[in-house]
Chains A and B, each alone.
Chain A
Amino acid sequence: MIYVHQIGTLNCNENEEFDVKAAWKAVLPKSIRRTDRYIQLSLLGAYRAVEGVKLPQDTALYMASGQGNLAVVKRLRDQLYINQQPPKPVDFINSLSNTAGFYVAQFLNIEGKNLNVSRLGFVVETTLLLAQNDLSLKKEKMILLGGVDERQKSRSFTQRTLGISDTTALGEGSNWMLLSAEEEGSLASIEVGKVFLNLENLKEYIDSLDETTKIAFGLRCEKADIDVLLQGRKRFNVSCDFYESAAIYYLTTFIVSGSGELVFIDRYKERYRVIKVKLPTA
């Protein structure tokens, strides 16, 4: 079991344009040089999570992404092959995904472990499992865990690399949670399922839940899954277009506006994972 102490959300649906520079200026007048939009999204989301909080310097930072900094990979490709120019050093440095984590750590003055991890599916669930393990073993006292994915200009390219249909609306986000093993003062508790489930196992799991537990479905879940699994239970809906790390937005939205207990279900290639979120009783 791990506990959420702070949250910060930045979610943008397909029909919304988000000016990250303007949003940054609104909270802090100083720009951070040599950063690109992906890094700026990371900074802004993390800032929203810990605004006004002085973090212990050994706070760890685990950053998860489904796509990484895809825009800079495309920029480097364009520089090399289309414009016939050498890579710009700033783009080369920013192409290393952990550069975003560096700028977040520098901005927040934290110097603990700083990871950038990715996975084709379940990237949030797996990173949370790592955090749950490290906190329970006391390897880390506090972890700032975020998920950042940036919408690309080419809609079709993004849909194809994500393996989703060309009708799926694309979002972007930078959502963060400050986690520890300490319950006192927490906003919610989180428990991450350690293994994948198939549909049958998942159904059994849901049947075992208290009837007041709400269910939320990740963006790769299909309508057929939802019909089979919901079975009269209350669904917790979140307005969110597709990006791989959106699971954190679901969790933080529930923490802000929900009550009781939520089970978040995500899917990737016929397999399912669950995260249980419990809010403290009044």
Chain B
Amino acid sequence: MLSALGTKKERLEHLSNATYQCTKKEMTTVLGDKLTFNYYSIDDRERNITIELPLDYLDEVVQKAIDKLQLTPADLNRCGLFLGSASIDLSLSLPLGENYDTSDEKVMACERVGNGYYADYLTKKFGLSDFSLTYNTACTSSANAVVDAASMLEGGVIDYALVIGFELFSPISFEGFIAMQLLSPEVLAPFDKNRSGIVLGEAVSALFMSRDDVRASHWIYRGGSSRCETHSVTGANSDGTGIASVIEAALDEANILAGDIQALKAHGTSSALNDLAEINAMKQVFTSAPNFFSLKPYIGHTLGSCGSSELLLLLECVDDGFIPKTPGFSTVDTDLSWSPTTKKIRVDNGHFMLNYFGFGGNNTSLIIEKVPS
């Protein structure tokens, strides 16, 4: 994966030591205001904003995953693609955005673009199977891609699944979050009394899944659920009922009890209402606070990419024998009363829950298990 945490070695060092690399992003808004926000960038290379911009990043993560697993062309030909991103209109908004002073007709080549462009590219480039879908369900996009990949594997429609989460800096998204006053001028502090909003980041991740009769792994997807709560288009009900129902459905599908969860990766956006809703939901399902943590202080809120990107970070941490501390948290919020991890905790095997919530009322919960090798 590509994120602000660097290489795998660097990622594990950061996660183990509760450190991260946040940069400042200066934006001159369209109103002429100069604003500075924290941001988690993959790199600081000069970017030429074109429709091809994401391709190098996508190529890199997919090729690395193929090499690591030594997948053959025959394997890839049996592999479906599930791509999640909150900015999949990028293939349209980029050419539209950069050519704002000329007419559409002059600048657009007669080529099919739009949602699905990057999935189509990857399918061709890596010789994947016929099955591909692009998910745009806001911050649950690539988490929902994982749920559906597992279902299509179970149904035998495909033998392998490649799940991609990708989110690169998008001026429209950034300005949109500013307009909604959701960005924090400070650092991320999930579940902290003084939390003040989200900090955005970018990440591109590739995750291969398969059925165990095709290729075994010590990581097993046990179940997941995705539901829509219709309380508000911009967030979960702060009473936690919507989130609790998706967590309970995921536990049902995995056929385990809440007490079986070894640790929980929270969505943990550091926004006042989201964190409140998440804690209220956990209190409805767990009799006492599980070991829970947020990965967003490490890579930022990577929107549609956080489903697969945070899943990959969790796998790497547990494979290294720990779950991380939640940076930024120091003061208990009496409205929440439950605290996330304040130090690194040793773990080896067991069940892990990952929760994701997004605009459009979309809530998703995943349960995975690491079995002894």
Contacts and interface: CB of A to CB of B under 8 A. Distances in A.
- Decide if A and B are genuine partners: yes
Interface of A: 34, 61, 65-68, 70, 73-74, 76-77, 79-82, 84-89, 92-93, 95-99, 101-103, 105-106, 109-121, 123, 126-127, 129-130, 133-134, 136-137, 139, 154, 156-157, 159-163, 194-196, 271
A162 to B, nearest CB: 6
A114 B360 contact: yes
Contacts of A67: 114-115
B92 interface: yes
Contact of A77 (B97, B111, B113, B245): B97
Nearest to B104: A157
Contacts of A129: 131, 157
Contacts of A116: 135-137, 360
Nearest to B140: A98
B372 interface: no
A86 B30 contact: yes
B86 interface: yes
Contact of B171 (A65, A80, A115): A80
Interface of B: 29-31, 86, 88-89, 92-93, 96-97, 100-101, 104-105, 108-117, 119-120, 130-138, 144, 147-148, 151-152, 154-155, 157, 171-172, 175-180, 225-230, 233-234, 242, 245, 358-362
B111 A163 contact: yes
B130 A80 contact: no
Interface SS, B side: mixed
Contact of A93 (B30, B134, B135, B234): B234
A271 B104 CA distance: 29
A160 B233 contact: no
Contacts of B361: 102, 105-106, 114
A119 B100 contact: no
A126 B135 contact: no
Given A79-B30, A98-B136, 17 more contacts: A77-B97, A84-B31, A98-B360, A99-B359, A101-B137, A102-B230, A103-B233, A111-B228, A111-B242, A112-B227, A114-B360, A115-B148, A121-B112, A126-B132, A130-B148, A133-B152, A160-B110
A248 B130 CA distance: 20
A114 B137 contact: yes
Nearest to B98: A81
